[in-house]
Amino acid sequence: MNIALGQSALLLALLGAVAGAVTLIVGLARGRASLLRAGQVYIWLVVGGAVLATVAMQRALITHDFTLAYVDSNDSTFTPLIYRITAMWSDLAGSILLWALVLSGYLAAMWIRFRHRADEPAVLWSKIVGYIIAAFFFGLMLSVSDPFTRVHGAVPTQGPGPDPLLQDRLLVAFHPPLLYLGLVGFTVPFCFAIAGLVTGRTDETWLSETRRWAIFSWACLTAGLVLGAWWSYQVLGWGGYWSWDPVENSALLPWLTGTAFLHSAMVQQRRGMLRVWNLSLVLATFSLTVLGTFFTRSGVLVSVHSFTDDGGVGPALLVFFGLTVATSLALLAWRGDQLHSPGARATPLSRQGAFLANNLLFCAFAFVVLLGTVFPLFVEAINGSSLTVGGPFFDTMTMPIVLCLLFLMAVAPVLPWRSASGELLRQRLMWPAAAAATVLLACVAVGLRGVWPLLVFALGAFAGASALRQLVLVVRRGGPRGVLSRSGGGMIVHLGVVLIAVAFAASHAYEHQAQLALRVGKPVTFEGHTLVLRGVRQVNTPGRGLLVVTVDLDGRPYYPAIEQFALSNEAVPSPAVRSTPAQDFYMEIASTPNVGNGPVALAVYVEPLVMWLWIGGLLVVGGAVVSMVPSGRRRRPLEASAHSGPDLEQSLELDDPRPAGSEVGAAV
């Protein structure tokens, strides 16, 4: 029943997507309103098919229907309920199903949001593009990636369960869905960008229609990246949270271009500039989500996060990526004459000049990440040799970009839209500069060394103080509720990014690690901390066993462990972490000890300020959510700022629905 229901649902969704696209195209070509109305209805077949297929898969996993090959490979009778549910996105075919489910949800929300403008050509073409994308993914599942394939031969009574790493933390229930909400969400701006190019509607209207969609997707992607880092930190047992893994990079790439778009969109909305640039960024962001999907599901990249492709998913995704890029470039070339910006040219000491520099830096960042990710593939394709591009390359190449971005985060919010004078900059940056100098001197005074981390700390203080200054201005003009605005949300995002940058620099530059040999009752000191081994015990539960080590850290017990699943030969480390605002003390069992009072080899890491990574991530997501709050204030004319005195600094920007720091900040 599950197989029949699932495959029928996928077929229903595919037919709905194809019929919807064809009906709308014919209706537009012939000018028939009846066809245009009928084409709107097919979206509910797409949504219904996606939901029914998901229900069929979840029912099969929850009830251990081993007649499905997917269930046989990713479920077991020992698997807890929550991990049976999350098993739907724990393997290739199920992850494509989740992608299609999220996509159908976005398309339905887009239909509802624009239902009162359903007859506009741009809205109709955006729906056609959405139908085409949906048809591709449902067609993928009905051909080379069928999640409802039947088991050949005798039906098994037991499966291996999900990968042990995917049934060790509840984060598996949140990290992948949030990533999908973020990545798939950029489909909506992409649909409107393509529709604008097809219809010739290349003005600023499409930006306002998709602004909140883009910010919501960006916020979900940010949350997914932060939770992924936390998951890696808690599960993989290597003392780190970001390793520049190819699959991590695949999710970071659309985040970088999406962030650039959210900033430059403000320039187009306010000054009518960067039209080609913004369209290119939206098209590139969606294209990079498809490319990342190819990387993670084709098997071309070796990663703990990637899936193995036994069919033709990789080639199909690569063809879809190529068609997406080719179509985007062709439409940009076709409408090139209409994309000239009527706005004035940006001057360096203006907000639009700072945003342009910000965009160039984000694109340079994305290029470095993309180059380091795909270069090993080119080398292997050319001469067959294996090459690894690791953390040192990315750290070296991206650190100067990060420093420049921190500098722009401090300067951009205080710049007016028109050219600023040196005196104005000195006045507005005096206190942030003083904060940066104070932090730098304090770091040197306490003995911190290293050029790069000290520069990050100083520029982080510079940007953080600038953001706090802007928040004070927001509160002065609008009261405490003024923080719940686009400008307030943007500055909250800035503060979160500063915390992440500082925590990242501190935890990398000043990390201390060692492997300690512990014996029962004998204290061992490391970096001012005392560790005492109390014993080793075996704990068995249905389906898994734990080898637990009890260690007193400064008089308080902690329990690093090794988990062994009954149906897997893979042992999963379960580190113990003591987190404080100043530092994390991270403990992992380095080799399997004997039960009882035997010696234990313990890998330990002391990493400063790691807690602030998670706090910073929370602030970034929270600030993005706040920036989506509708503004009740009307925009004041540009000329209003010309009559503002020093006491009304930035009155225009603070009253404007698109002020400095709006959307997701002035220069993340």
pLDDT at 226: 94
AA identity, residue 343: G
Question: Tell me: the pLDDT tens digits for 562-583?
Answer: 988 877 777 888 899 999 999 9
Higher pLDDT pick, 655 / 258 = 258
Question: Tell me: the pLDDT tens digits for 226-249?
Answer: 999 998 898 877 778 998 888 889
Measure the CA–CA gap between 586 and 560, rounded to whole angstroms: 9
Q: What angle do CA 492, 493, 499 make, to 5 degrees?
A: 90
pLDDT at 655: 34
Question: Tell me: the pLDDT tens digits for 325-379?
Answer: 999 999 999 887 777 666 556 577 788 888 889 999 999 999 999 999 888 878 7
Whether residue 661 has pLDDT greater than 80: no
Question: Tell me: the pLDDT tens digits for 102-149?
Answer: 999 999 999 999 888 888 888 999 999 999 999 999 999 999 889 999
pLDDT at 343: 54
Q: What angle do CA 633, 635, 641 make, to 5 degrees?
A: 120
Whether residue 633 has pLDDT greater than 60: no
pLDDT at 639: 33
Measure the CA–CA gap between 381 and 203, rounded to whole angstroms: 43
pLDDT-derived band at 636, boundaries 50, 70, 90: very low
pLDDT-derived band at 647, boundaries 50, 70, 90: very low
pLDDT at 650: 42
Measure the CA–CA gap between 585 and 439, rounded to whole angstroms: 25
Residue 115: both structure tokens together: 């239902």
pLDDT at 375: 86
Per DSSP (E only), the strands in 529-580 are 529-541, 544-553, 556-558, 561-565, 571-574, 576-579
AA identity, residue 342: P
The alpha-helical segments, DSSP class H, found in 90-204 are 92-113, 121-141, 175-185, 187-199
Average pLDDT, the chain: 86
Whether residue 33 has pLDDT greater than 80: yes
**Phi, psi of 398, deg, nearest 5:** -95, -20
pLDDT at 660: 37
Average pLDDT over residues 496-516: 94
| DSSP-assigned beta bridge partners for residue 541 | 544
Question: Tell me: the pLDDT tens digits for 184-203?
Answer: 999 999 999 999 899 887 77
Average pLDDT over residues 277-287: 93
Higher pLDDT pick, 635 / 132 = 132
Q: What are the boundaries of each domain within the chain? A: 1-162, 512-608
Question: Tell me: the pLDDT tens digits for 535-572?
Answer: 899 988 877 888 999 999 999 999 999 988 877 777 88
Element (H, E) at 614: helix 611-627
Q: Pick the range with the lowest mean pLDDT from 78-82, 200-204, 290-294, 500-504.
A: 200-204
pLDDT at 125: 93
Whether residue 658 has pLDDT greater than 60: no
Measure the CA–CA gap between 363 and 384, rounded to whole angstroms: 30
Percent of the chain with pLDDT over 90: 54
Q: Which of 512, 549, 550 is nearest to 528 (CA)?
A: 512
pLDDT-derived band at 642, boundaries 50, 70, 90: very low
Non-local CB neighbours of 88 within 8 Å, separated by 6+ positions: 54, 57, 58, 61, 94, 97, 98
Higher pLDDT pick, 414 / 179 = 179
Non-local CB neighbours of 502 within 8 Å, separated by 6+ positions: 456, 457, 460, 609, 612
